[in-house]
Structure 1
Amino acid sequence: MDVEKGLSNGIQEQVMANADGIELLPGERLDDLMTKELQIIQSRDVFSFSMDAVLLARFASVPPRGRVIDLCTGNGVIPMLLSTRTQAAIDAVEIQPRLAGMAQRSVKFNKLDNQIQIIEADLRQYWKTAGNGVYDAVTVNPPYMPAQTGDKNDNEHYAIARHEVHCTLDNVVEACARLVRTGGKVSMVHRPNRLIDILETFRRWKLEPKRIRFVHPHADAEANMLLIEAIRDGKPSVKLLPPLIVYTKERQYTEELVRLYYGSNGSWAAGADGKENE
Protein backbone atom coordinates (compact mmCIF):
# COMPACT_ATOMS: atom_id res chain seq x y z
CA MET A 1 0.00 0.00 0.00
CA ASP A 2 1.36 3.42 -0.95
CA VAL A 3 0.73 5.57 2.11
CA GLU A 4 1.61 8.91 0.51
CA LYS A 5 -0.59 8.25 -2.52
CA GLY A 6 -3.35 7.24 -0.15
CA LEU A 7 -3.05 10.55 1.63
CA SER A 8 -3.45 12.38 -1.68
CA ASN A 9 -6.74 10.86 -2.78
CA GLY A 10 -8.63 14.04 -3.62
CA ILE A 11 -12.36 14.10 -2.92
CA GLN A 12 -14.74 15.80 -5.34
CA GLU A 13 -14.81 19.57 -4.89
CA GLN A 14 -18.57 19.73 -4.43
CA VAL A 15 -18.19 17.87 -1.12
CA MET A 16 -16.50 20.96 0.32
CA ALA A 17 -18.88 23.37 -1.33
CA ASN A 18 -21.82 21.77 0.43
CA ALA A 19 -20.22 21.65 3.86
CA ASP A 20 -20.96 24.51 6.26
CA GLY A 21 -20.86 27.01 3.39
CA ILE A 22 -17.09 26.58 2.91
CA GLU A 23 -15.92 26.44 -0.68
CA LEU A 24 -12.72 25.25 -2.26
CA LEU A 25 -10.77 27.87 -4.19
CA PRO A 26 -9.63 27.18 -7.77
CA GLY A 27 -6.98 24.47 -7.82
CA GLU A 28 -7.76 23.23 -4.32
CA ARG A 29 -8.80 19.70 -3.38
CA LEU A 30 -9.92 17.88 -0.26
CA ASP A 31 -7.64 15.03 0.85
CA ASP A 32 -8.27 12.25 3.35
CA LEU A 33 -5.91 12.14 6.37
CA MET A 34 -6.97 8.53 6.95
CA THR A 35 -7.47 8.97 10.66
CA LYS A 36 -10.59 9.94 12.63
CA GLU A 37 -12.29 10.83 9.31
CA LEU A 38 -10.23 14.03 9.07
CA GLN A 39 -9.87 15.78 5.73
CA ILE A 40 -7.55 18.59 4.68
CA ILE A 41 -7.52 21.23 1.94
CA GLN A 42 -4.49 21.04 -0.33
CA SER A 43 -3.35 22.51 -3.64
CA ARG A 44 -0.56 21.90 -6.12
CA ASP A 45 0.05 25.65 -6.09
CA VAL A 46 1.45 25.52 -2.55
CA PHE A 47 3.60 23.11 -0.57
CA SER A 48 1.54 20.08 0.53
CA PHE A 49 2.38 18.14 3.66
CA SER A 50 4.50 15.00 3.44
CA MET A 51 5.64 12.10 5.60
CA ASP A 52 7.85 14.24 7.84
CA ALA A 53 4.84 16.16 9.17
CA VAL A 54 2.92 12.97 9.92
CA LEU A 55 5.88 11.38 11.71
CA LEU A 56 6.44 14.50 13.80
CA ALA A 57 2.78 14.50 14.86
CA ARG A 58 3.20 10.88 15.99
CA PHE A 59 6.62 11.38 17.61
CA ALA A 60 5.92 14.48 19.69
CA SER A 61 5.04 14.13 23.36
CA VAL A 62 1.92 16.18 24.02
CA PRO A 63 0.02 16.67 27.28
CA PRO A 64 -3.54 15.34 27.60
CA ARG A 65 -4.67 18.89 28.33
CA GLY A 66 -3.09 22.32 28.54
CA ARG A 67 -1.71 24.39 25.65
CA VAL A 68 0.22 23.24 22.58
CA ILE A 69 1.57 25.29 19.65
CA ASP A 70 2.73 24.23 16.19
CA LEU A 71 5.09 26.58 14.37
CA CYS A 72 5.55 26.68 10.57
CA THR A 73 2.20 24.91 10.44
CA GLY A 74 1.67 25.17 6.67
CA ASN A 75 -1.82 23.93 5.83
CA GLY A 76 -2.39 22.80 9.42
CA VAL A 77 -1.82 19.06 9.13
CA ILE A 78 0.18 18.70 12.36
CA PRO A 79 -2.34 20.41 14.71
CA MET A 80 -5.13 18.41 13.07
CA LEU A 81 -3.29 15.14 13.69
CA LEU A 82 -2.36 16.21 17.23
CA SER A 83 -6.05 16.77 17.94
CA THR A 84 -6.52 12.99 17.74
CA ARG A 85 -4.07 12.53 20.62
CA THR A 86 -4.89 15.32 23.06
CA GLN A 87 -7.67 17.54 24.33
CA ALA A 88 -5.23 20.43 24.77
CA ALA A 89 -5.92 23.78 23.13
CA ILE A 90 -3.73 23.93 20.02
CA ASP A 91 -2.46 27.14 18.41
CA ALA A 92 -0.74 27.00 15.02
CA VAL A 93 1.36 29.77 13.45
CA GLU A 94 1.90 30.23 9.70
CA ILE A 95 3.41 33.27 7.97
CA GLN A 96 2.00 32.66 4.47
CA PRO A 97 -1.56 34.02 4.11
CA ARG A 98 -2.55 31.45 1.47
CA LEU A 99 -1.55 28.48 3.63
CA ALA A 100 -2.97 30.00 6.81
CA GLY A 101 -6.30 30.50 5.05
CA MET A 102 -6.35 26.90 3.85
CA ALA A 103 -5.57 25.69 7.37
CA GLN A 104 -8.35 27.83 8.88
CA ARG A 105 -10.91 26.42 6.46
CA SER A 106 -9.74 22.84 7.06
CA VAL A 107 -10.06 23.30 10.82
CA LYS A 108 -13.57 24.69 10.44
CA PHE A 109 -14.57 21.95 7.99
CA ASN A 110 -13.49 19.27 10.48
CA LYS A 111 -15.30 21.10 13.31
CA LEU A 112 -12.07 21.52 15.25
CA ASP A 113 -12.27 25.30 15.66
CA ASN A 114 -13.10 24.90 19.36
CA GLN A 115 -9.70 23.24 19.85
CA ILE A 116 -7.41 24.57 17.10
CA GLN A 117 -6.67 28.23 16.35
CA ILE A 118 -4.74 29.07 13.17
CA ILE A 119 -2.73 32.28 13.55
CA GLU A 120 -1.26 34.14 10.58
CA ALA A 121 1.94 35.54 12.07
CA ASP A 122 5.72 35.64 11.92
CA LEU A 123 7.16 33.24 14.50
CA ARG A 124 10.04 35.66 15.04
CA GLN A 125 7.54 38.15 16.45
CA TYR A 126 4.70 35.98 17.72
CA TRP A 127 6.27 35.17 21.10
CA LYS A 128 6.45 38.89 21.88
CA THR A 129 2.66 39.12 21.97
CA ALA A 130 1.87 35.56 23.10
CA GLY A 131 4.21 35.76 26.09
CA ASN A 132 7.07 33.69 27.47
CA GLY A 133 6.55 30.15 28.73
CA VAL A 134 2.83 29.99 27.94
CA TYR A 135 2.80 26.58 26.18
CA ASP A 136 3.26 23.07 27.54
CA ALA A 137 4.57 21.69 24.24
CA VAL A 138 5.81 23.02 20.89
CA THR A 139 6.07 21.21 17.57
CA VAL A 140 7.80 22.54 14.49
CA ASN A 141 8.55 21.38 10.95
CA PRO A 142 10.82 24.22 9.81
CA PRO A 143 12.49 24.93 6.46
CA TYR A 144 15.44 22.56 6.17
CA MET A 145 17.89 24.41 3.95
CA PRO A 146 19.76 27.65 4.64
CA ALA A 147 18.68 30.45 2.32
CA GLN A 148 21.98 30.53 0.44
CA THR A 149 22.10 26.79 -0.38
CA GLY A 150 20.45 24.68 -3.06
CA ASP A 151 18.30 25.76 -5.98
CA LYS A 152 15.29 27.76 -4.91
CA ASN A 153 12.00 26.86 -6.55
CA ASP A 154 10.44 29.56 -8.69
CA ASN A 155 7.22 28.99 -6.75
CA GLU A 156 7.40 31.33 -3.76
CA HIS A 157 5.35 29.01 -1.54
CA TYR A 158 7.71 26.09 -2.16
CA ALA A 159 10.81 28.24 -1.67
CA ILE A 160 9.58 29.54 1.70
CA ALA A 161 8.69 26.03 2.86
CA ARG A 162 12.08 24.56 1.93
CA HIS A 163 14.56 27.38 2.52
CA GLU A 164 15.20 29.64 5.52
CA VAL A 165 13.75 32.67 3.75
CA HIS A 166 11.68 34.07 6.61
CA CYS A 167 13.35 32.30 9.55
CA THR A 168 16.70 30.70 10.29
CA LEU A 169 17.21 27.66 12.50
CA ASP A 170 18.23 30.02 15.29
CA ASN A 171 15.02 32.06 14.83
CA VAL A 172 12.93 28.88 15.05
CA VAL A 173 14.65 27.51 18.15
CA GLU A 174 14.52 30.90 19.88
CA ALA A 175 10.77 31.07 19.28
CA CYS A 176 10.31 27.53 20.62
CA ALA A 177 12.41 28.25 23.71
CA ARG A 178 10.57 31.47 24.51
CA LEU A 179 7.09 30.01 24.02
CA VAL A 180 7.51 26.78 25.99
CA ARG A 181 7.39 26.66 29.79
CA THR A 182 10.19 25.27 31.95
CA GLY A 183 9.84 21.50 31.79
CA GLY A 184 7.80 21.75 28.59
CA LYS A 185 8.76 19.84 25.45
CA VAL A 186 9.84 20.96 22.00
CA SER A 187 9.66 18.45 19.13
CA MET A 188 11.19 19.04 15.69
CA VAL A 189 11.64 17.17 12.41
CA HIS A 190 14.67 18.08 10.32
CA ARG A 191 17.47 16.65 8.21
CA PRO A 192 20.33 14.58 9.71
CA ASN A 193 23.00 16.78 8.10
CA ARG A 194 21.86 19.62 10.38
CA LEU A 195 22.12 17.56 13.58
CA ILE A 196 25.15 19.38 15.03
CA ASP A 197 23.61 22.77 14.24
CA ILE A 198 20.36 21.67 15.92
CA LEU A 199 22.08 20.36 19.07
CA GLU A 200 24.22 23.48 19.42
CA THR A 201 21.26 25.79 18.89
CA PHE A 202 18.99 23.87 21.26
CA ARG A 203 21.51 24.07 24.10
CA ARG A 204 22.21 27.75 23.43
CA TRP A 205 18.51 28.41 24.03
CA LYS A 206 18.35 26.12 27.10
CA LEU A 207 16.52 23.29 25.35
CA GLU A 208 18.08 20.01 26.45
CA PRO A 209 17.81 17.19 23.86
CA LYS A 210 16.07 14.14 25.32
CA ARG A 211 14.99 11.86 22.45
CA ILE A 212 16.43 11.45 18.96
CA ARG A 213 15.21 9.10 16.25
CA PHE A 214 16.58 8.70 12.74
CA VAL A 215 14.33 7.72 9.84
CA HIS A 216 15.83 5.58 7.07
CA PRO A 217 14.22 4.89 3.67
CA HIS A 218 15.68 1.34 3.81
CA ALA A 219 17.45 -0.72 6.45
CA ASP A 220 20.77 -0.39 4.60
CA ALA A 221 20.39 3.28 3.65
CA GLU A 222 21.57 6.42 5.42
CA ALA A 223 19.00 8.33 7.43
CA ASN A 224 17.22 11.06 5.50
CA MET A 225 15.08 12.40 8.34
CA LEU A 226 15.66 13.31 11.98
CA LEU A 227 13.13 13.53 14.81
CA ILE A 228 14.28 15.25 17.99
CA GLU A 229 12.62 16.29 21.24
CA ALA A 230 14.02 18.53 23.95
CA ILE A 231 12.92 19.76 27.38
CA ARG A 232 13.17 23.39 28.42
CA ASP A 233 15.80 23.70 31.22
CA GLY A 234 16.12 19.90 31.35
CA LYS A 235 19.05 17.92 32.73
CA PRO A 236 21.61 16.48 30.29
CA SER A 237 20.54 12.96 29.25
CA VAL A 238 19.56 11.87 25.76
CA LYS A 239 18.02 8.66 24.38
CA LEU A 240 18.81 7.45 20.87
CA LEU A 241 15.68 5.54 19.86
CA PRO A 242 15.72 2.61 17.42
CA PRO A 243 15.76 3.70 13.79
CA LEU A 244 12.47 3.91 11.90
CA ILE A 245 12.65 2.10 8.57
CA VAL A 246 10.22 3.23 5.88
CA TYR A 247 10.47 0.46 3.24
CA THR A 248 11.03 -3.29 3.36
CA LYS A 249 13.28 -5.06 0.85
CA GLU A 250 10.13 -5.68 -1.22
CA ARG A 251 9.56 -1.92 -1.49
CA GLN A 252 6.50 -2.13 0.76
CA TYR A 253 5.95 0.11 3.76
CA THR A 254 7.08 -1.48 7.03
CA GLU A 255 4.54 -2.58 9.60
CA GLU A 256 5.54 0.21 11.98
CA LEU A 257 5.11 2.91 9.37
CA VAL A 258 1.68 1.63 8.37
CA ARG A 259 0.71 1.44 12.03
CA LEU A 260 1.73 5.06 12.54
CA TYR A 261 -0.47 6.17 9.65
CA TYR A 262 -3.46 3.93 10.23
CA GLY A 263 -3.34 2.91 13.89
CA SER A 264 -6.02 4.05 16.32
CA ASN A 265 -3.58 6.33 18.12
CA GLY A 266 -0.55 6.34 15.87
CA SER A 267 1.84 7.39 18.62
CA TRP A 268 5.05 5.75 19.74
CA ALA A 269 6.10 8.74 21.85
CA ALA A 270 8.14 7.53 24.82
CA GLY A 271 7.45 9.94 27.60
CA ALA A 272 3.91 10.71 26.42
CA ASP A 273 2.75 9.54 29.82
CA GLY A 274 4.52 12.52 31.39
CA LYS A 275 7.16 10.39 33.13
CA GLU A 276 10.09 11.50 31.00
CA ASN A 277 13.10 12.26 33.16
CA GLU A 278 13.65 16.00 33.15
Structure 2
Amino acid sequence: MEPLTRDHFFNGKIVLNQPASGYRFSIDAVILSHLVCPLPDETILDLGTGCGVIPIMLAFRHPEIRVIGVEIQPSLSRLARQNVADNRLAHRVRVIDKDIGKLLLTDIGGAVDRVVTNPPYRKRGSGRINADSQRAVARHELKTDLDTVMRTAWRMLRKAGQFSIIYPSVRCVDLVAAMRSTGIEPKYLTMIHSKPSSPARLVVVTGIKGGRPGLEAGPPLALYHEDGTYTRAMEAMFSG
Protein backbone atom coordinates (compact mmCIF):
# COMPACT_ATOMS: atom_id res chain seq x y z
CA MET A 1 0.00 0.00 0.00
CA GLU A 2 1.27 3.46 -0.88
CA PRO A 3 2.46 5.53 2.13
CA LEU A 4 -0.04 8.17 3.24
CA THR A 5 0.06 11.38 5.20
CA ARG A 6 -2.73 12.32 7.60
CA ASP A 7 -3.52 16.03 7.59
CA HIS A 8 -6.00 17.94 9.75
CA PHE A 9 -8.14 20.91 8.73
CA PHE A 10 -10.80 23.15 10.28
CA ASN A 11 -9.02 23.21 13.64
CA GLY A 12 -8.69 19.45 13.66
CA LYS A 13 -12.34 18.74 12.89
CA ILE A 14 -11.54 17.17 9.51
CA VAL A 15 -8.84 14.64 8.71
CA LEU A 16 -7.67 13.89 5.18
CA ASN A 17 -5.39 11.04 4.17
CA GLN A 18 -3.30 11.77 1.07
CA PRO A 19 -0.60 9.93 -0.87
CA ALA A 20 2.79 10.86 0.50
CA SER A 21 4.33 11.00 -2.97
CA GLY A 22 1.41 10.82 -5.42
CA TYR A 23 -1.20 13.44 -6.23
CA ARG A 24 -1.98 15.78 -3.32
CA PHE A 25 -4.78 18.29 -3.52
CA SER A 26 -3.89 21.97 -3.82
CA ILE A 27 -5.33 25.22 -2.50
CA ASP A 28 -7.55 25.24 -5.62
CA ALA A 29 -9.87 22.63 -4.11
CA VAL A 30 -10.03 24.49 -0.79
CA ILE A 31 -10.90 27.76 -2.55
CA LEU A 32 -13.67 26.18 -4.59
CA SER A 33 -15.25 24.41 -1.62
CA HIS A 34 -15.20 27.74 0.26
CA LEU A 35 -16.83 29.78 -2.53
CA VAL A 36 -19.66 27.32 -3.29
CA CYS A 37 -22.72 28.17 -1.19
CA PRO A 38 -25.36 25.43 -1.55
CA LEU A 39 -28.87 25.60 -0.18
CA PRO A 40 -30.22 23.07 2.35
CA ASP A 41 -31.27 19.72 0.88
CA GLU A 42 -29.33 20.21 -2.35
CA THR A 43 -27.40 17.40 -4.01
CA ILE A 44 -23.97 18.32 -5.37
CA LEU A 45 -21.82 16.36 -7.82
CA ASP A 46 -18.01 16.73 -7.77
CA LEU A 47 -16.35 15.70 -11.03
CA GLY A 48 -12.83 14.37 -10.45
CA THR A 49 -13.00 14.18 -6.67
CA GLY A 50 -9.46 12.90 -6.02
CA CYS A 51 -9.15 12.06 -2.33
CA GLY A 52 -12.58 13.54 -1.65
CA VAL A 53 -11.49 16.92 -0.31
CA ILE A 54 -14.23 19.03 -1.93
CA PRO A 55 -17.18 16.76 -0.96
CA ILE A 56 -15.87 16.43 2.59
CA MET A 57 -15.33 20.15 3.09
CA LEU A 58 -18.71 20.97 1.56
CA ALA A 59 -20.53 18.37 3.64
CA PHE A 60 -18.80 19.55 6.81
CA ARG A 61 -19.68 23.20 6.21
CA HIS A 62 -23.23 22.50 5.03
CA PRO A 63 -24.77 19.73 7.17
CA GLU A 64 -28.05 19.55 5.19
CA ILE A 65 -26.62 18.70 1.76
CA ARG A 66 -25.62 15.49 -0.01
CA VAL A 67 -22.51 15.18 -2.17
CA ILE A 68 -21.43 12.65 -4.79
CA GLY A 69 -17.80 12.45 -5.90
CA VAL A 70 -16.71 10.78 -9.14
CA GLU A 71 -13.12 9.63 -9.63
CA ILE A 72 -11.56 7.62 -12.47
CA GLN A 73 -8.39 6.56 -10.60
CA PRO A 74 -9.18 3.56 -8.34
CA SER A 75 -6.38 4.32 -5.88
CA LEU A 76 -7.79 7.80 -5.27
CA SER A 77 -11.44 6.72 -5.13
CA ARG A 78 -10.55 4.13 -2.48
CA LEU A 79 -8.77 6.84 -0.54
CA ALA A 80 -11.74 9.18 -0.92
CA ARG A 81 -14.05 6.54 0.57
CA GLN A 82 -11.64 6.05 3.45
CA ASN A 83 -11.61 9.79 4.10
CA VAL A 84 -15.40 9.94 3.97
CA ALA A 85 -15.61 7.13 6.53
CA ASP A 86 -12.93 8.62 8.77
CA ASN A 87 -14.89 11.87 8.91
CA ARG A 88 -18.18 10.04 9.60
CA LEU A 89 -19.85 11.44 6.48
CA ALA A 90 -20.80 8.21 4.70
CA HIS A 91 -24.50 8.97 5.23
CA ARG A 92 -24.18 12.14 3.10
CA VAL A 93 -21.16 11.65 0.82
CA ARG A 94 -20.84 8.92 -1.81
CA VAL A 95 -17.89 8.18 -4.09
CA ILE A 96 -18.28 6.55 -7.52
CA ASP A 97 -15.52 4.94 -9.58
CA LYS A 98 -16.10 6.03 -13.17
CA ASP A 99 -14.83 7.96 -16.15
CA ILE A 100 -16.83 11.19 -16.00
CA GLY A 101 -17.33 11.11 -19.76
CA LYS A 102 -19.29 7.86 -19.33
CA LEU A 103 -21.25 8.95 -16.27
CA LEU A 104 -24.99 8.29 -16.42
CA LEU A 105 -27.85 9.86 -14.52
CA THR A 106 -28.67 6.40 -13.18
CA ASP A 107 -25.19 6.26 -11.60
CA ILE A 108 -26.00 9.23 -9.38
CA GLY A 109 -29.71 8.72 -8.83
CA GLY A 110 -30.98 11.50 -11.08
CA ALA A 111 -30.20 15.12 -11.92
CA VAL A 112 -28.38 17.17 -9.31
CA ASP A 113 -28.74 20.76 -8.13
CA ARG A 114 -25.08 21.68 -8.53
CA VAL A 115 -21.95 20.39 -10.21
CA VAL A 116 -18.51 21.46 -8.97
CA THR A 117 -15.10 20.60 -10.35
CA ASN A 118 -11.39 21.29 -10.06
CA PRO A 119 -10.46 19.54 -13.33
CA PRO A 120 -7.16 18.89 -15.11
CA TYR A 121 -6.25 22.14 -16.81
CA ARG A 122 -3.08 21.56 -18.82
CA LYS A 123 -3.78 20.67 -22.44
CA ARG A 124 -2.45 17.37 -23.72
CA GLY A 125 1.01 18.00 -25.17
CA SER A 126 1.60 21.23 -23.24
CA GLY A 127 4.42 21.25 -20.72
CA ARG A 128 6.23 18.37 -19.06
CA ILE A 129 3.98 15.55 -17.92
CA ASN A 130 4.73 14.44 -14.38
CA ALA A 131 6.27 10.98 -14.11
CA ASP A 132 3.85 10.18 -11.29
CA SER A 133 0.69 8.89 -13.00
CA GLN A 134 -1.68 10.23 -10.29
CA ARG A 135 -0.31 13.73 -10.64
CA ALA A 136 -0.23 13.54 -14.44
CA VAL A 137 -3.89 12.54 -14.73
CA ALA A 138 -4.97 15.16 -12.19
CA ARG A 139 -3.13 18.02 -13.90
CA HIS A 140 -3.08 17.21 -17.63
CA GLU A 141 -6.03 16.49 -19.91
CA LEU A 142 -5.06 12.83 -20.32
CA LYS A 143 -8.27 11.12 -19.18
CA THR A 144 -10.67 14.02 -19.72
CA ASP A 145 -10.75 17.58 -21.05
CA LEU A 146 -12.73 20.78 -20.59
CA ASP A 147 -15.32 19.91 -23.25
CA THR A 148 -15.98 16.53 -21.63
CA VAL A 149 -16.32 18.14 -18.21
CA MET A 150 -18.80 20.67 -19.56
CA ARG A 151 -20.90 18.11 -21.46
CA THR A 152 -21.05 15.88 -18.39
CA ALA A 153 -22.03 18.77 -16.15
CA TRP A 154 -24.84 19.74 -18.52
CA ARG A 155 -26.15 16.16 -18.61
CA MET A 156 -26.07 15.77 -14.82
CA LEU A 157 -27.63 19.13 -13.90
CA ARG A 158 -31.32 19.77 -13.44
CA LYS A 159 -32.84 22.68 -15.34
CA ALA A 160 -31.44 25.95 -13.93
CA GLY A 161 -28.91 23.96 -11.90
CA GLN A 162 -25.61 25.63 -11.08
CA PHE A 163 -22.09 24.73 -12.20
CA SER A 164 -18.94 26.02 -10.45
CA ILE A 165 -15.37 25.49 -11.59
CA ILE A 166 -11.91 26.70 -10.60
CA TYR A 167 -9.51 27.10 -13.50
CA PRO A 168 -6.30 28.93 -14.44
CA SER A 169 -7.05 32.56 -15.29
CA VAL A 170 -4.96 32.29 -18.49
CA ARG A 171 -7.60 29.86 -19.82
CA CYS A 172 -10.56 32.02 -18.83
CA VAL A 173 -11.60 32.64 -22.44
CA ASP A 174 -11.52 28.90 -23.18
CA LEU A 175 -13.61 28.26 -20.08
CA VAL A 176 -16.30 30.86 -20.71
CA ALA A 177 -16.58 29.84 -24.36
CA ALA A 178 -16.92 26.16 -23.43
CA MET A 179 -19.59 26.93 -20.84
CA ARG A 180 -21.71 29.00 -23.18
CA SER A 181 -21.40 26.56 -26.10
CA THR A 182 -22.54 23.73 -23.82
CA GLY A 183 -25.62 25.56 -22.60
CA ILE A 184 -24.34 26.57 -19.18
CA GLU A 185 -24.38 30.36 -19.15
CA PRO A 186 -21.55 32.00 -17.14
CA LYS A 187 -23.15 34.22 -14.47
CA TYR A 188 -20.56 35.04 -11.79
CA LEU A 189 -16.77 35.29 -11.89
CA THR A 190 -14.18 35.69 -9.13
CA MET A 191 -10.52 36.30 -9.90
CA ILE A 192 -8.09 34.74 -7.40
CA HIS A 193 -4.80 36.53 -6.68
CA SER A 194 -1.91 35.30 -4.55
CA LYS A 195 -1.38 38.89 -3.31
CA PRO A 196 -3.35 42.09 -4.00
CA SER A 197 -0.61 43.42 -6.27
CA SER A 198 -0.03 40.19 -8.21
CA PRO A 199 -1.82 39.17 -11.42
CA ALA A 200 -4.74 36.78 -11.08
CA ARG A 201 -3.64 33.15 -11.12
CA LEU A 202 -7.00 31.40 -10.91
CA VAL A 203 -10.62 32.11 -11.68
CA VAL A 204 -13.81 30.65 -10.22
CA VAL A 205 -16.80 30.83 -12.54
CA THR A 206 -20.36 29.85 -11.72
CA GLY A 207 -22.91 29.30 -14.46
CA ILE A 208 -26.55 28.28 -14.77
CA LYS A 209 -27.87 25.57 -17.07
CA GLY A 210 -30.09 27.38 -19.55
CA GLY A 211 -29.46 30.73 -17.89
CA ARG A 212 -29.85 34.11 -19.57
CA PRO A 213 -26.78 36.05 -20.71
CA GLY A 214 -25.21 38.40 -18.20
CA LEU A 215 -21.90 37.91 -16.37
CA GLU A 216 -21.10 39.66 -13.09
CA ALA A 217 -17.50 39.99 -11.92
CA GLY A 218 -17.29 39.91 -8.14
CA PRO A 219 -14.59 41.43 -5.94
CA PRO A 220 -11.14 39.87 -6.44
CA LEU A 221 -9.98 37.42 -3.81
CA ALA A 222 -6.42 37.74 -2.47
CA LEU A 223 -4.96 34.86 -0.47
CA TYR A 224 -2.00 36.64 1.13
CA HIS A 225 -1.13 40.15 2.24
CA GLU A 226 1.92 41.76 0.67
CA ASP A 227 3.98 40.63 3.69
CA GLY A 228 3.04 37.00 3.05
CA THR A 229 0.59 36.61 5.94
CA TYR A 230 -2.87 35.15 5.34
CA THR A 231 -5.76 37.42 4.45
CA ARG A 232 -9.04 37.05 6.35
CA ALA A 233 -10.47 35.23 3.34
CA MET A 234 -7.64 32.71 3.44
CA GLU A 235 -8.02 32.19 7.19
CA ALA A 236 -11.75 31.59 6.72
CA MET A 237 -11.04 28.84 4.23
CA PHE A 238 -9.23 26.79 6.87
CA SER A 239 -11.29 27.72 9.91
CA GLY A 240 -14.39 25.80 8.88
Asked whether the two chains share a fold, i.e. TM above 0.5, the reply is yes
TM range (shorter): over 0.9
Give the structure 1 partner of residue 228 of structure 2: 251
Q: For residue 37 of structure 1, what is the amino acid of its counterpart?
A: K
What is the match of residue 144 of structure 1? 121
1:85 is displaced (CA, Å) by: 3.1
Deviations 1:150-185 (A, max 9, x none): 100111111001100000100001111110111110
The residue number in structure 2 matching 1:83 is 59
Deviations 1:29-86 (A, max 9, x none): 2110225711011112321111110110011232211311101100000000010233
Give the equivalent residue in structure 2 for 1:45: 21
Query: Cα distance 1:172–1:42, how it changes in 2: closer, same or farther (>3 A)?
Result: same
Secondary structure of residue in 1 paired with 2:61? coil
Match of 2:5 in 1: 29
Residue range with higher mean Cα deviation, 84-93 or 74-83 = 84-93
Shift of 1:250: 1.2
In the TM superposition, residue 240 of structure 1 has moved relative to its aligned partner by 0.3
> CA separation in 2, counterparts of 1:26 and 1:165?
22
Shift of 1:216: 0.7
Structure showing greater Rg: 1
2:185 to 208, 212, 220: 208
Q: What do you get for the CA RMSD once the two structures are aligned?
A: 1.6
Q: Retained in 2: the 8 A contact 1:46–1:99?
A: no
Corresponding position of 1:6: none
Match of 1:67 among 26, 30, 43: 43
Tell whether 2:211 aligns with 1:261. no
Residue in 1 aligned with 2:218? Answer: 241
Aligned-pair identity (%): 29
Report the Cα distance in structure 1 between the residues aligned to 2:109 and 2:84, rounded to whole angstroms.
26
Task: Structure 1 unaligned segments of length 5 or more: list them.
Answer: 1-24, 265-278
Q: Distance in 2 between matches of 1:132 and 1:112?
A: 18
Shift of 1:26: 4.4
- Tell me how far 1:238 sits from its aligned partner: 1.4
Matches within 5 A, 1:193-232: 193-232=170-209
- 1:170–1:155 Cα change, 3 Å: same
Q: Does 1:57 align with 2:33?
A: yes
After the TM superposition, list the runs of 4 or more consecutive aligned residues in structure 1 that deviate by more than 6 angstroms.
Answer: none
2:107 aligned partner: 130
Match for residue 162 of structure 2? Answer: 185
Q: Which amino acid aligns with 1:83?
A: A
Q: Normalising by structure 1, report the TM-score.
A: 0.82
Question: 1:191–1:204: structure 2 CA closer, same or farther, 3 Å change rule?
Answer: same
CA distance in 2 between partners of 1:148 and 1:61 (Å): 35
Residue of structure 1 in register with 2:70 after alignment: 93
